[in-house]
Amino acid sequence: MLEGMLSGLELALSWPTPGYLMLGVFLGIWIGAVPGLGGAVGLALMLPFTFGMDPVPAFALLLGMYAVTSTSDSIASIMLGIPGTVASQATILDGYPLAKKGQAARAFGATYTVSAFGGVLGAVLLAVSLPIILPVIFAFGVPEFFMLAVLGLTMVGVLSGRSLLKGLTVALLGLLLTTVGYADATGVPRFYFGVNYLLDGVPIIPIVLGLFGIPELMELAVQNTSISRVARSEDPTTGLLQGVKDAFHHRWLVLRCAFLGTYIGMLPGLGAAIVDWIAYGHAVQSSKDKTQFGQGDIRGVIAPETANNAHKAGALIPTVAFGIPGSIGTAILLSALVLKGLRPGPDMLTVNLPLTFSMVWAIVIANLVAAGLLMLLSRHIHKIAFLPGHLIVPGVMVVLLMGTWVATNSMGDWWTCLVFGVLGYWMKQGGWARPPLILALVLGGLMENNFQLTTQIYGNYAWLYNRPVVVLIEILIIITFVFAIKSALKPQGDQSSEAGEGATRNALISTPLAVGLFVMFSIGYFVTLGFQGAATAQFPHIILLTALPLSFWILVKDGRAAWASITSGGGMRRAWNVAADKANLKPSLVFIGFILATIGIAYLAGQLVALPLFVAGYLVIWGNYKWTTVAIYSSAALLIVWGFYGQLMRLLFHPSILFG
């Protein structure tokens, strides 16, 4: 084992491998920082360039890029509250509030320190665990994967803000969304209502970017403020060093999350989309003082960033040892392995062990180099937090819409992003936590498929108590659920504070959402009665029969609170005006109008016209900027859309009515 490790290091350091590795790192930093792209897109773009290369340099290039996207994706999560990739969704919960407090440099310091630690520790744990990995992975079947998905969903308790019931209801909405389109078990389409775009399901990228991105941009536009709500007072070097100190101060949390990331990464199918949520939930549940989570607690940044970087090393094992990719990214790596004439299997852990270790070393070196480079760049990146919001909004909106377009190259992606952007803003203003929806959306398909396979193979109930790993996971689920209930019932800090996810109190805004969900769940239940086959309707039935009483109870509670607001506020009209002003509804509708106009112009004249016009119109009408600024900014937007997305990524734009 030691000989294989040293031989792998020698391969990784033999020229030209380091050169390709550095090129991959630079590309990965850029790709990870742009919302909507991520490691899988980068791998797909770079794979053709490796056809004529030797295996070691080729994998150094691919892994150098792939490994660091989990580090650079924190830039958008911390600075904008928009997940750079699915692996950084949990980072926004405390990373963006830290930026609002003017502590973006501190968040970056902690992020890049633990990212380096996570990558290195993940590789070390992987090397130490190789002798025992095979029997552990073979112990996992579909029942264990189903229970792991349930364990992930119990994290809803720590992501629900002040209302566990609302968090559960939102999670059920996310699970229901995963049933849209063709059912994997039967091939029967569900909940698509004649819209062909929905037949393949709702893509997650437009939902994530809309749910988290648009509400934050609306807030910046409406309030005419910078990202930081406080004046710039801290030296960036001091902030970065404080973040590094935070990482060392919470070293045991870093170590535990590295374990979580590595070993969850070894389990095919879970992927990076769940590991950061589990790490975040662990950080909350293992903390004595939970009052600052969601309001800018540095531990809420440290935990997910450690885990999602450690995950990359762990995910390598099922890919090379079994030929079982756990995500789209590792599936592309698997295809690269086959293209190089290498057979995934036990040979990769015996005969080709040096090559496997060269991949592990590539991940280690890439994480260390990327952390150092981003630490230097952060001295300048954090300044974005103090720029006027009107300068940030149009540029980020262009990147967000084009990042959404990457999903399926369909205008349906833009409509999905807008719908969930409006929903996300309403949820934020009404006190409904958004993270449970994303977590359920990630886990829903995995849960349904594994549940149906489990019941078909192992029967209805026996697998719940006769499989040791399942029983162990059930114990963890019970412990997690108990902690979630205790946390929800226990008064936490200043209850008048409305900071943090799901903490806002505005009953007149929350009640219409409760009504809408109850009506939607009711309609959904009657629709399922017409589904063909028990397997098609089974999972949606379970979701809806659980969601209906929960949403009705929330409706009753919110209705009472809304009535109290009306009676104490001097009537319906006056109370509604107060609630609408608090939620900034009128200017928010104007911002939505800008997006609708952009979509309309895209249909008429194409995206190359619509997006620069959105930038120009926003800067002139909303920002009152001079024409010189408008011309430069709009030209830059056109260059990015045409050059990066059109020429480099070769995306197909929507055919316009006027120009085709």
Would 660 be classed as within a structural domain? no
pLDDT (0 to 100) of residue 496:
47
Quote the pTM value.
0.84
pLDDT score for 457: 84
pLDDT in tens, 246-303: 989 988 998 888 888 887 777 665 555 678 888 888 888 788 877 778 788 888 889 8
pLDDT over 60 at 61, yes or no: yes
Structure confidence by residue, pLDDT tens digits, 87-134: 677 888 888 888 888 888 888 888 888 888 887 887 777 777 766 666
Whether residues 144 and 290 share a domain: the answer is yes
Statement to judge: residues 51 and 190 lie in one domain? yes
Calpha distance 607→399 (Å, rounded): 12
Q: Are residues 121 and 214 in the same domain?
A: yes
Q: How many domains does the chain have?
A: 2
Across the strands, what pairs with 181?
190
The DSSP element (H or E) to which 187 belongs, if any, is: none
Asked, for residue 16, whether it belongs to a domain, the answer is yes
Among the ranges given (8-12, 92-96, 399-403), the one the predictor scored with the smallest mean pLDDT: 8-12
| Residue 542 within any structural domain of the chain | no
CA atoms within 13 A on the CB side of 531: 27
What is d(CA 415, CA 592) in angstroms, rounded to the nearest whole number? 12
Are residues 604 and 499 both part of a single domain? no
pLDDT higher than threshold 90 for residue 549? yes
Q: Are 534 and 188 in contact (CB under 8 A)?
A: no
Geometric angle at alpha carbon 403, from 400 and 406, rounded to 5°:
155
> What's the pLDDT score for residue 494?
47
- Residue 171, both tokens: 């999670």
Q: What token pair was written down for 118?
A: 């996570």
Quick check: is 427 in a domain? yes
- CB within 8 A of 595, min separation 6: which ones? 214, 397, 418, 421, 614
Same domain, 378 and 487: yes
Q: What integer pLDDT is reported at residue 165 of this predicted model?
A: 86
The answer on 274 and 375 residing in a single domain is yes
The first and second tokens of residue 31, run together, are 């790709």
**Which of 472, 488, 505 is the last residue in one of the domains?**
505
Asked whether residue 560 is assigned to any structural domain, the reply reads no
Please give the average per-residue pLDDT across 386-407, as a whole number: 86
The rounded distance, in Å, linking the Cα atoms of 440 and 153 is 7
pLDDT for 357 equals 79
Domain shared by 496 and 619, yes or no? no
Check whether residue 350 and residue 478 sit in a common domain.
yes
* pLDDT score recorded for residue 180: 92
Specify if 222 maps to a domain.
Answer: yes
Contact indicator for 253, 302 with CB cutoff of 8 Å: yes
With 60 as the cut, is the pLDDT of residue 371 above it? Answer: yes
| Domain final residue, candidates 505, 523, 558 | 505
Q: What is the mean pLDDT of residues 426-445?
A: 85
Output the DSSP codes for 91-126: THHHHHHHHHTT-HHHHHHHHHHHHHHHHHHHHHHH
- Tens of pLDDT, residue by residue over 144-175, are 878 877 877 777 766 776 678 888 899 999 99
Residues 95 and 106: beta-carbon distance below 8 Å = no
Paired with 189 in beta bridges are 182
Please tell me whether residue 177 adopts helix, strand or coil conformation. Answer: helix
Share of the chain above pLDDT 70, in %: 88
- What is the share, in percent, of the chain residues with pLDDT greater than 90? 17
Write down the mean pLDDT value for the chain: 82
> Are 174 and 274 spatial neighbours (Cβ–Cβ below 8 Å)?
no
Contact 514, 136 (CB under 8 A): no
Q: Rounded to an integer, what distance in angstroms lies between the CA atom of residue 629 and that of residue 202?
A: 38
Backbone φ, ψ for residue 189 (5° rounding): -70, 140
The span from the CA of 229 to the CA of 223, in Å, is: 11
Residue 564 lies inside a defined structural domain of this protein: no
Beta strands in 186-249 (DSSP E): 189-190
pLDDT at 365 over 90: no
Distance CA 55, CA 536 (A): 44
Q: Which domain, by its residues, includes 127?
A: 2-86+103-226+244-505
Contact 443, 155 (CB under 8 A): no
Q: Please check whether residue 574 lies inside any domain of the structure.
A: no
Span 226-236, average pLDDT: 66
Determine the average pLDDT of the residues in 79-88.
75
**How many Cβ atoms from other residues are within 10 Å of residue 236's Cβ?**
19
Helix (H) or strand (E) holding 182: strand 181-182
Q: Are residues 281 and 177 in the same domain?
A: yes
Question: Contact, 105 vs 385, CB < 8 A?
Answer: no
Q: Is residue 40 a contact partner of residue 312, using CB atoms and an 8 Å limit?
A: no
In angstroms, the CA 389 to CA 228 distance is 10
Q: Say if residues 326 and 148 touch (Cβ distance below 8 Å).
A: no
Q: Which is nearest to 302 in space by CA: 325, 323, 321, 279?
A: 279
